[in-house]
Amino acid sequence: MSAESAYVHGYSAREAERLGDQAGSLAHLLHNDTHYPAGSRVLECGCGTGAQTVFLASGSPEAHFTSVDLSAESLEQAGTRLAAAGCRNVTLRQADVFDLPFDDASFDHVFVCFVLEHLADPPGALASLRRVLRPAGSITAIEGDHGSWYCHPQTAEATRAVQCLMEIQARLGGDSLIGRRLYPLLAAAGFREVRVSPRMVYVDSSRPRQVESFSKNTFIAMVEGVRHQALSLGLVDAATWDKGIADMYRATEADGTFCYCFFKGTGLR
Amino acid sequence: MSAESAYVHGYSAREAERLGDQAGSLAHLLHNDTHYPAGSRVLECGCGTGAQTVFLASGSPEAHFTSVDLSAESLEQAGTRLAAAGCRNVTLRQADVFDLPFDDASFDHVFVCFVLEHLADPPGALASLRRVLRPAGSITAIEGDHGSWYCHPQTAEATRAVQCLMEIQARLGGDSLIGRRLYPLLAAAGFREVRVSPRMVYVDSSRPRQVESFSKNTFIAMVEGVRHQALSLGLVDAATWDKGIADMYRATEADGTFCYCFFKGTGLR
């Protein structure tokens, strides 16, 4: 949603592929319990290239989605992706979460996924989303938490590489530890009946599809994506970085394990 | 099970209460999918004071449990606890996991919970357990992973206090990061069809019973229990320690959150 997200979630071909992989492997874990009634008006804020939108829209085929993003380029890719998936219940629109071009109370439900982590002002974004939500309407927010990552075998260099990603996101005004903060953020924004549940990804070699789709193509790929920034900013030296990445791949071998946790929160206006 | 465990899981009145609380709040999460058939012979190795035994035995009332521990004092407390709970399907016996007084293949199932973390030689223990298990019999192993802990708000001092607990356990020959290693340990021990699942505890103030039973009375109480050792060993200074503990309690307030992950593994001989 934010301009900053372009720097962390870039738009290269590999990046687009990564976001696609991420959605594919995580869709059930994140979205299996989200279904909107027929006829309901749902705002998806910060849809990016539509990686989550296809699952949302497919899971609630009788609801109507308005999916907005700040980036025209991302919206164009989202349009292509939705067309390929045969989703006809989504309207794409360019908009800023902090200045939404919608009347008060114009949506029955609001959905926001992997967006708050990039914002310098999550409470401001939640206030904006609450404004366009009708009374008794629901909000659903999903975020990761990079501090929830660990693996076996774990090394100091692998930990350092992940810390670099967290520091870069912090310098861009974001908070990659936001998953654990979802409950207090939603409660402080005035939503009621707030419920947050962890959605943990655990991967070992008995789950070879997840080794590829999550450990390698989602998480390690995301960390690898900030190599240039980490080195340019002097957060780490090249030898430490390269060993850290190699060590993360080591944890994807037959005797390795890999853990990460997403958080999903819901509340009512 | 091991002599060392006496140092980390002591036997004070508060400690006994803590283990009781732990079992009460975690029982469903850890044991809800463990049920043994009528007539089956189950070895529980390292039963301690019987905190898990009461749930195991109650959950499979027609199975017969042999629960062993190295400590006669713990076994006496386990006997009292089992009698109070009305469990009549458990035989208690003093034994060492590395020198089990049972014939080969004398059990249909083996259960081990919060034991491997304290041992210097988990592979040796698993080999010993495998010996007394009949072909096609199952093993169930449950362990925590202190490196999986995090909270909000998180501070460097709170992290340091938990690291002290991990270092003390390591000096005693244990591994408090063993949860993430269960899969490779069980696979390397020769068990087949190994499956490991994470059992994550997530606590916020919408779950007040868990704030008390898990965050305060289980996890923080366990960390607090090593204060004297941490200071004596010079792992941390008193001011840092005390702030770390205070910061952990801070995370149990209305806008705080608390996370920890157990791992449960099963396999067949």
Give tens-digit pLDDT for A136-162.
999 999 999 999 999 999 999 999 999
Decide if B36 contacts B42 (C-beta within 8 A). yes
The pLDDT of residue A14: 54
The pLDDT of residue A15: 52
pLDDT in tens, B64-83: 999 999 999 999 999 999 99
Q: Is B83 helix (H, G, I), strand (E, B) or coil?
A: helix
Q: How far apart are the CA of B163 and the nearest CA of chain A, in angstroms? A: 14
| Chain B residues touching A188 at Cβ < 8 A | 255
Question: Quick one: residue A112, left, alpha or beta (phi over 0 = left, psi -120 to 50 = alpha)?
Answer: beta
| Chain B residues touching A196 at Cβ < 8 A | 202, 204, 206, 257
Does residue B17 carry a pLDDT above 80? Answer: no
Q: Chain B: residue nearest A186 by CA?
A: B255
Does residue B3 carry a pLDDT above 50? Answer: no
| Chain B residues touching A198 at Cβ < 8 A | 200, 202, 259
Comparing CB atoms, the residue among B145, B147, B257 nearest residue A183 is B257
User: Are the Cβ atoms of A202 and B198 closer than 8 angstroms?
Assistant: yes
The pLDDT of residue B186: 98
User: 10 Å Cβ neighbour count for A160?
Assistant: 18
CA B49 to chain centre: 12
CA atoms within 13 A on the CB side of A22: 22
Stated as kind and residue range, the H or E segment containing A46 is none
The pLDDT of residue A26: 84
pLDDT in tens, A223-238: 999 999 999 999 999 9
CA A209 to chain centre: 20
The candidate with the shortest Cα–Cα distance to B161, out of B225, B252, B72, is B225
CA distance A248 to A216: 9
Q: Is A184 on the interface with B (CB under 8 A)?
A: yes
Decide if A222 contacts A268 (C-beta within 8 A). no
**Looking at residues B38-55, what average pLDDT do you find?**
97
**By percentage, how much of chain A surpasses pLDDT 70?**
91
The pLDDT of residue B6: 36
Does residue A96 carry a pLDDT above 70? Answer: yes
User: 10 Å Cβ neighbour count for B77?
Assistant: 18
**By percentage, how much of chain B surpasses pLDDT 70?**
91
Lowest mean pLDDT among A86-95, B17-26, B170-179, B238-247: B17-26
| Chain A residues touching B257 at Cβ < 8 A | 180-181, 183-184, 196
Q: Is B173 on the interface with A (CB under 8 A)?
A: no
The pLDDT of residue A133: 98
Q: How far apart are the CA of B195 and the nearest CA of chain A, in angstroms? A: 7
Q: How far apart are the CA of B75 and the nearest CA of chain A, in angstroms? A: 34
The pLDDT of residue B96: 97
Q: What is the mean pLDDT of chain A?
A: 92
Does residue B13 carry a pLDDT above 70? Answer: no
Q: How far apart are the CA of B93 and the nearest CA of chain A, in angstroms? A: 35
Bigger pLDDT: A113 vs A12: A113
**Looking at residues A81-101, what average pLDDT do you find?**
97
The candidate with the shortest Cα–Cα distance to B55, out of B8, B113, B2, is B113
Decide if A179 contacts A154 (C-beta within 8 A). no
Does residue B196 carry a pLDDT above 70? Answer: yes
User: Are the Cβ atoms of B255 and A152 closer than 8 angstroms?
Assistant: no
Does residue A17 carry a pLDDT above 90? Answer: no
Mutate to test the interface with B, among A252, A257, A258, A260 (most CBs of B within 10 A): A257
The pLDDT of residue A2: 36
Q: What is the mean pLDDT of chain B?
A: 92
Does residue B266 carry a pLDDT above 60? Answer: yes
User: Are the Cβ atoms of B195 and A202 closer than 8 angstroms?
Assistant: no
Mutate to test the interface with A, among B175, B183, B263 (most CBs of A within 10 A): B183
Does residue B22 carry a pLDDT above 80? Answer: no
Q: Is B253 on the interface with A (CB under 8 A)?
A: no
The structure tokens listed for B180 are 């993430």
Q: Is B221 on the interface with A (CB under 8 A)?
A: no
Q: Is B198 on the interface with A (CB under 8 A)?
A: yes
CA distance A116 to A178: 8
pTM: 0.90
Stated as kind and residue range, the H or E segment containing B246 is helix B238-250
The structure tokens listed for A42 are 């749902």
B86 Cβ contact list (under 8 Å, min separation 6):
none
| Chain B residues touching A145 at Cβ < 8 A | 150
